[in-house]
Amino acid sequence: MRVVIAEDSVILREGMVELLTARGCEIVATAGDADELLAAVAEHAPDVAVVDIRMPPTHTDEGIRAAVQLRADHPQVGVLVFSQHAEPSWAARLLAGEASGVGYLLKERVAATADFVEALRRVAAGGVALDPEIVSRMLNRGTRPLDRLTAREREVLDLMAQGHSNRSVSALLVISERAVEKHAASVFAKFGLPATEADNRRVKAVVTYLQEVGP
């Protein structure tokens, strides 16, 4: 089984290479960000790609967006998302369309390397491997966009709706401006607002928020 691994943590990436190689997998390439992942898959045509969700530069949803693109551009390649984040909205994006050759496992819940390799083989063969926690959250998640946000993300969005800048939000919540940017980026991702030159995601997120909370 030929595998591409996309993980921005060098230690985790190298550890996965050693573990999977010892289990008979051929690691044809590794990647530290989404662009490297897409290029590696295009070049090596692996059986399956292992993808982390949060990758450079913003560490929000670069990995899942790359995974979705892989499924569209290379449907013959299995995609296994391997993350510490259990986010049903991201899982739904990954499973949109034909749900085959896809997986979503949580790092802390994989008890044995053998189980992980078995999931990889299943996905590479066109099967599905989903952590039960992901399935449960998908079945029980609310339908409102706001239900997908963490408490901190809602605080950030509420202050954005009041007209506060990132610097102002940072001061009011006593967190770094960089943290505010990350929370805002996560809000945009969960609201399905991709970055484009023409669209102002901040305004759209606030409009969605105001529509949800009402007058």
- Span 58-82, average pLDDT: 90
pLDDT at 99 (0 to 100) = 63
Task: Provide the pLDDT for residue 112.
Answer: 85
* Contact in structure between 106 and 84 (CB atoms under 8 Å): yes
Which residues neighbour 113 within 8 Å (Cβ) at sequence distance 6 or greater? Answer: 19, 20, 22, 23
All domains of the chain in start order, with CATH: 2-139 (3.40.50.2300), 145-213 (1.10.10.10)
pLDDT tens-digit readout, 104-118: 899 888 888 888 999
CA–CA distance, 170 with 160 (Å, rounded to integer): 11
In whole angstroms, give the CA distance from residue 82 to residue 34: 14
Is 193 within 8 Å of 199 (Cβ atoms)?
yes
The answer on pLDDT for 163 being more than 80 is no
Higher pLDDT, 13 or 88: 13
pLDDT tens readout for residues 118-159: 999 999 998 888 888 776 666 555 556 777 788 888 899 888
Q: What is the pLDDT of residue 198?
A: 47
Residue 176 phi/psi, 5° resolution?
A: -70, 155
pLDDT at residue 69, as a whole number = 92
Please give the Cα distance from 137 to 20 (Å, whole number): 29
Nearest of 47, 105, 98 to residue 76 by alpha carbon: 47
Confidence check: pLDDT of 167 > 60: yes
pLDDT in tens, 177-202: 999 999 888 888 888 777 665 457 77
